[in-house]
Every structure is written in C-alpha cells, then in structure tokens.
Amino acid sequence: MSHSAECPECAAKVTLPDDAVVGEIVQCAECGVELEAVSQDPWKFARAPEEEEDWGE
Amino acid sequence: MSETIEVSVVGGSGYVGGELLRLLLFHPQVSVRQVTSARLSGRFVYTAHPTLRGTTSLQFTHPDALDRADVLFLALPHGEAAKAIDMFADKAERIIDCSADFRLRDTESYEQWYGTPHPAPEWLSRFVYGLPERNRAAIADSRFVSGVGCNATVTTLALAPLVDGGLLDHAVADVKVGSSEAGAKASPSSHHPERSGSVRSFKPTGHRHQAEVVQELGRGFRLDFSVTSVELVRGALVTAHCFLKESTSERDLWTLYRKHYAHEPFVRLVSGKSGIHRYPEPKLLAGSNYCDIGFATDELSTANRVVTIAAIDNLMKGAAGTAVQCMNIMLGFDETSGLGFPGLHPI
C-alpha cells in the first residue's frame, strides 16, 4: 500500500513508495522541493538540505 | 465536434499571421483557405514565414479577393480591422481579431488609451475579450472575439488569483518584453546597433495594455504598470510586486493558485525549490501556448509583499495561440487542439 503526506512547502499530496522508510528522500511533483520523510504513523516530511544559488554577494 | 472548418488569415505576412499559420496548418480540424497580403500577393507564404517551406503550397491572396470562410482571423495593423469590420462580418460566421481594435469594452476607455475616437463604436459590445481564462463561457457563445495584449495577458494571469481572492491591495508590475512585440516592420528602435544588448525602458508609464488588465480584473486594486524591452526575440515576463491586504504564506499561495487554475490547460505553476528553472522563464516557452506562473513571499516585508512572476511567448499565449484556443472554444473543438507543443529545452 502506498503512503502519502502533505508537502510542507506547497501543501501538495506527495506519495511515498510502498517500502518507504524514515529517512527516505522524495521530490514533490509540484514545487520540486526535495523532502525527507522524518516520521511515520502518520508520515511527515521536512525539507531536505540543498545547496542555494548565491549571485552578487 | 469532428467536422473540418475553413479558415482564412487576413493580414498574414506579419509575425502573428505567421504564428497563426504555423498552428492552423497543422490543426486536425482546420483547412486554411486563404492568407491575404497586399504587399506579397501571389508570393508563396514561405516568403514571409520561412519555417513553412515545404509544408504548404499556399500563396498570399490580395485582400480584395477574400472569399467567405467559416472563421476569419484578422492579423492586421491596429486600426485596420475596425475600419472594415462590416465587410469582414459579411465574409464569415465567426471573427477573431488579433489587433487591439475590439479589446476595450467602452469608447471612452478606447479614446483615453488610443488617443482617437473608435472607428466602429457600435461593434465594441459585440466582441468578447478573448482570454479564455477569464471569459470562456462568453467566448463559446460569441461570433466575435478580440485578441489579447501580450503584456496584459501575462499580467492578468499573474494577478487574477490574488484579485479574485480579495487579497490584493496594489501591484507594481514590470513586464520585460522581446523585440517581436514590435512587429515585423523595422523602425529606428529595432535597428540592430540600437536594439542589440539594450535594456530599454520602453514605456515606464501609460502602456495601453494596462487598460486591458483593469478591464479584466476590475478596479478593486491599484495597478502600476511598466514595460521594459530586453534582449529577447520572443517572450514576456512580468515581475509583479504585490502588496496584500493581509499576511499570506507561500503554502497559502500555492493553495490559492492551484485551486484557481486547476482546470486551465495552459497555465502551469512554476515556483520551484530546486533546480535551475525555479521560476517562469520565457525562453523555455518559445512556440508554446503555456503561461507559467510563480510567486515568492517576502518574509522581511512589513507591507505583506509577494512577488508574482509569469512568463509567456508573446506571439503565442499573448496573441496567436490564445486566438486558436478561442477558435477551439467557439467551435466546440477540444480546447487544446493544435496547441500541444510544450516548448524547447535547451534553446
């Protein structure tokens, strides 16, 4: 059975694979953010760390 | 509807005429009957539109030889369609006029923004403003549909969810535009040494397309509108600084925009958190009918500032693409028919 939870950035429904585990990294299809599954029952996501662009500083 | 219809393009030698032909020649339910041009009468259409070489044997017809058709697309210089609208209406059951002649609903507004009395004021109320995302039902029921201003389209679509949601107090919109907006005729400002590499404040205030945005979105908010010409051939990008009546999170904006455009086939939300193209980029939309819309909240603002960003191809969603979308709606065709091209990457 697939699992899903809300994207913390854009509130879209994000689906996890059947065999997902805590720590799984998935991408939100709508806003593109990389998410880490931080807990289950219920599943919750946090934004995974990414490198930022830095122009002109 | 599965029938095939006959359409003609009046004034087909310009950039919008060329885009109309590129779309209509490959539309599964359309046969292009005539393309008119006084200057190029008798010449093959690839003379003006080189990418159509080998795809059609059509030659430009003199405007005086215009026959009847099911639909006429008018792609004439501004002012020309209105002068001859009675004649055109005798030639076709339906008309889609890509010029600015029939976009504004009242003569006062037309005179204020265009500086002259309207040549055919009795026709203004017969036309529907041809932006499906605002007027789909009226377009479906109408015989006469106007074109849309490209800068107006990108701004209207960017702001509509905030306005309709009652959130917008005022917006300061700057539209960066490509050179094809100026049309196929050369001018001193399009001369290569003048145009190349420039970032020219073309119309910091008083751009005519502002009137279309206000007409379509209403007067419930204040709009400041500027247009800047940049180093692009195709494309329009609006950066709109929106000051909201209340603090709104980015999640709430996602929900608002997602709901507003849930059933729109040519609006995509592009407000990414990763990758290179996180926000709308007109370059990627060249040749496509999409309008990409993004937004970002300003966490440091004390005035509830949200920046909305939207991009289109000015010749497509800002002109010919929307005109064909309107034709599809008027005729009961699949709204996306002939308009599936998603753009190119890299380009």
Token pair of B26, please? 């490959």
Pick the CATH number of A3-47 from 2.20.28.160, 3.20.20.210, 3.40.50.1460, 3.30.2350.10: 2.20.28.160
Q: Who among A11, A32, A47 is closest to B255 (CB)? A: A11
Distance separating alpha carbons of residues B218 and A35, to the nearest angstrom: 40
Mean pLDDT, rounded, for B95-102: 97
Instruction: Give me the active site residues of B, please.
Output: 150
3-state secondary structure of B2: coil
Is the CB of residue A46 less than 8 Å away from at least one CB of chain B?
no
Nearest alpha carbon to residue B72 among B148, B5, B10: B10
Which pLDDT score, from 0 to 100, does residue A43 have?
Answer: 94
| Lowest-confidence segment of B80-94, B199-213, B319-333 by average pLDDT | B199-213
Token pair of B79, please? 């002012």
Is the CB of residue A30 less than 8 Å away from at least one CB of chain B?
yes
CATH superfamily of B5-127: NAD(P)-binding Rossmann-like Domain (3.40.50.720)
Torsion of CA B58, B330, B78, B281, to 10 degrees: -90
pTM for the predicted model, two decimal places: 0.95
Q: Which residues of B touch A31 (CB under 8 A)?
A: 254, 271-273
pLDDT tens digits along B31-90: 999 999 999 999 999 999 999 999 999 999 999 999 999 999 999 998 999 999 999 999
Strands B291-297 and B305-312: antiparallel
Q: Are B325 and B335 in contact (CB under 8 A)?
A: yes
Q: How many residues does chain B have?
A: 347
Distance from CA of A38 to the nearest CA of B (A): 19
Pick the CATH number of B150-314 from 3.30.1490.20, 3.10.129.10, 3.30.360.10, 3.10.310.10: 3.30.360.10
Which pLDDT score, from 0 to 100, does residue B183 have?
Answer: 85
Probe site for chain B from A6, A31, A53 (most B CB atoms < 10 A): A31
Which pLDDT score, from 0 to 100, does residue B189 have?
Answer: 83
Q: For residues B7-30, b (16+ Cβ closer than 10 Å) or e, as one string?
A: bbbbbbbbbbbbbbbbbbbebebb
Token pair of B124, please? 């203004």
Domain with CATH 3.30.360.10 in chain B: 150-314
How large a percentage of chain B has pLDDT more than 70? 99
Mean pLDDT, rounded, for A27-52: 90
- HSE (CB half, 13 Å, CA atoms) of B269? 26
Are residues B273 and A33, on separate chains, in Cβ contact within 8 Å? yes
Token pair of B256, please? 């608002």
Q: What is the mean pLDDT of chain B?
A: 95
Q: Which residues of A touch B273 (CB under 8 A)?
A: 9, 28, 31-34, 47, 50
Domain with CATH 3.40.50.720 in chain B: 5-127
Distance from CA of A28 to the nearest CA of B (A): 9
Q: Which residues of B touch A51 (CB under 8 A)?
A: none
**pLDDT at residue B1 greater than cutoff 60:** no
pLDDT tens digits along B225-236: 999 999 999 999
Q: What is the DSSP string of chain A?
A: --EEEE-TTT--EEEEPTT--TT-EEE-TTT--EEEEEETTTTEEEEPP-PPP----
The ipTM is 0.83
Q: Which residues of A touch B251 (CB under 8 A)?
A: 8-11
Which pLDDT score, from 0 to 100, does residue B329 have?
Answer: 98
Chain B residues with a Cβ under 8 Å from any Cβ in chain A: 250-251, 254-255, 258, 269, 271-275, 278
Helix axes B321-331, B15-24, angle to 10 degrees: 50
Q: Who among B251, B273, B274 is closest to A11 (CB)? A: B251
**pLDDT at residue B325 greater than cutoff 80:** yes
Token pair of B229, please? 């010409």
| Lowest-confidence segment of B48-57, B129-138, B147-156, B272-281 by average pLDDT | B272-281
More confident call, A52 vs B304:
B304
